[in-house]
Amino acid sequence: MEYLDKYKNWLSFADGDTKAELQSITDEKEIEDRFYKDLAFGTGGLRGVMGAGSNRMNKYTVGKATLGLAKYLLSKNDGEVSVAIAYDTRNNSQFFAKTAAGVFASQGIKVYIYENIVPVPVLSFTTHYLNCTAGVMITASHNPKEYNGYKVYDKKGCQLCTDDAKAAIGFINDINDYSSIEFLDESPLINYIGEKELSAFLSEVKKQSLYEEKSDLKIVYTPLHGTGNIPVRRMLEGLDVTVVKEQEMPDGNFSTVRSPNPEEKDALTIAIEKAKQIGADLVLGTDPDCDRVGIAVKDGDDYKLFTGNQTGALLVKFVLEMKKAQLNEKSTLVKTIVTSELGANIGRKYGLQVEETLTGFKYIGDKINKYEETGKQEFVIGYEESYGYLVGTHARDKDAVVSSMLICQMAAWYKNQGKTLVDGLNDIYDEYGYYLDFLDSFVLKGKDGAEKIQNLMTYFRDTDKALFDGIDEIIDYSKGVGDLPKENVLKYIWQDGSWMAVRPSGTEPKIKVYYSVVDKNRDNAQLRLDNIRAKIKDIIEK
C-alpha cells in the first residue's frame, strides 16, 4: 500500500484527535515520512517520534505492538499469562502504558501496572519478582522529548533477545487491521502496583553495597526530570547529597536541557554550576528512565566529565578490589564489543573471565540468564561504554540506581585515601596504559537518511583495510562471529590494539562511530584520534 493509501486508510478508522492531526498536515513530504513504512518493532522494541501515522509512536502503533505481543505470549504459554508494565516521565508515557494494559486485558492477560513512574531496572526486577510472563517499559531512554518507545522483557526481566524478538515480531507484523484492536479503559485483569515492589527492588540493590565508611564526600545529583529522583535518593540516604531543584521534578519536555542524555556535556551544566557553588566532590546525573548515569568530578577549580568507559574502568577496579576475597575461577565480567578493553584488562588481572556481547544491554542480561542455567560462570559486573552498568543480578538491564550508589561509595573510598576519582583514574592509566575513547554520532533522518546509512556501510566494507594505514584486522559482525548473533557492525583493529567500530543505531536515525586509541603518550593519542575522526567525518559528509 502506497503512503497516500495508508494515510487515507488511517482517516477511515482513527479517533477524532488523530484524524484532526492527520488532516492538519499540508506538506506531502510530511505525510510520506509518517506513512512510507510502519514503525519497526525491532530487537529493541519500538522507538520513534510521537504523532499520528504508521511510522510514529501513538495509540494505534502501541496497540498493534501490544496485540501482537499478546498473541505471541498466549501461543507460547499454557495457563495464566501476566505482564508487568512501567513507564518513565516522557510525554504520553503513562497514556501508552495504560493503552498497553487495556489491550493486554482485552486478550485475557493479567496486568500489573505501576501507579507512578519508575526506572527501567525496577521494571526488569518486577517482571521476575511477580513471576510475570513478560514485562513492558514505556520509555525512549535518553532520546529528545519528541520520542517515546516500548521495550519488552522476558520472564527473567531481560529484554527479548534475537530468537524471541523475531518470533514476537512475526505476530506483530501479522496485525494489519488497526480497527480490530480493542482498547479497554478498565478491566478486573488490570492491577495497580507501587511501593511494595519498589521497596523490594531497593532492598536488593542495598545488598550490593560495598563500602559504608563515613566520609565528608559532597554530592550533587540531578535526575534530569526523570524517574531516578526517589529511588536514587533513597539509596544515597545518609550521604551529603544536594539535588538540583530545577531538574528534580518530572517534566516530559526536559525544559532545562537540550537533551536529557548524561553522555552529553551540557546535560550536566546546571548540576556542575551547583557543585561549584557548594564545593561538591562529585556530580551525578541519571537519564529519564534511570538506566544510565553520567558523572563529573572536582579536579582543581573545575569539574572533569568522565566517559562511560572511564567510569566503567573505575567501577571494575573498585568492585573487584572490594570483592577480591569472594572471586573465583567462575567470576566473569561482561562487556560489549564497542566498550574499551581497559576495564576488561583490569578484570583479567584480578583473574576474571571476560566475555563480549553485541551492543545492547539485553545481551549482557542474556549472559546472566545462561550463567544461572549452566552454573559454569558467575556474573560479577557488566557494562557498556554508553554509561550503563550493572552489579548484582536483581535486574537484567543496566541499572543507574545501583550504579549511583556504588559510584558514590567508590568516591568516598578514594576520598578517605586523600584521592579524587581523577586520581584513581590516573592510577589505572599508570598501571594499564592510556586509553582514549570517543564516540561520534551522525544523525541522518528520514527515508533518504536510512538509504545513506546503508550506502555508508557498503562503502566501509568495500574499502576494507585501505581505509587506514596499520589496520591489522577487520571484524564484520554481519557474517557472524563466534556464538554472537549477526549484526551490522564493522570493527577495525590496529596492530597496537587501538580500534574503531562503525554501526547504525538500532533505535535512532544515526550511524555511530566508536574510537579507542591506546598510547603511552596522551598528546599522541589525542592527535591520532583527531586525525581518524577528521577522515571519518569527511567520508560521511561527502
The closest of 239, 238, 247 to 282, measured between CA atoms, is 239
DSSP letter assigned to residue 486: P
Computed on alpha carbons and rounded to an integer, the radius of gyration of the chain in Å comes to 23
Mention every residue, 6+ apart, whose C-beta is less than 8 A from residue 278: 218, 220, 242
Contact 360, 506 (CB under 8 A): yes
- Report how far apart, in Å, the C-alpha atoms of 55 and of each of 13, 436, 520 are: 16, 38, 48
Strand 147-153 versus strand 46-49 pairing type: antiparallel
Helix, coil or strand: residue 514 = strand
String of DSSP letters for 194-217: -HHHHHHHHHHHHTT---------
Annotation says 203 is catalytic? no
In 259-368, DSSP assigns E strands to 282-286, 293-299, 302-305, 331-336, 353-357
CB 477 within 8 A of CB 488: yes
Q: How far is CA 49 from CA 46, 54, 101, 224, in A?
A: 10, 11, 21, 20
The residue among 108, 119, 130 whose CA lies nearest residue 400 is 119
Q: What phi and psi values does residue 87 have, to the nearest 5 degrees? A: -155, 160
> Running DSSP on this structure, what letter comes out for residue 333?
E
Answer for the pair 417, 306: CB distance below 8 angstroms, yes or no.
no
CB 516 within 8 A of CB 440: no
User: Residue 240: exposed, middle, or buried by beta-carbon count in 10 A (0-12, 13-18, 19+)?
Assistant: middle
DSSP state of 107: T
**219 phi and psi, to 5 degrees?**
-125, 140
Q: Which of 141, 331, 404, 516 is catalytic?
A: 141
Residue 47: which of 35, 60, 61, 36 has the closest Cα? 61
For residue 540 the three cell numbers come to 560521511
Per the document, the length of the chain is 542
Three-class HEC string of 526-540: HHHHHHHHHHHHHHH
Give the full edge-to-edge strand order of the sheet including 490-494.
Answer: 434-443, 510-519, 499-504, 490-494, 471-476
**Which residues does the annotation mark as catalytic?**
141
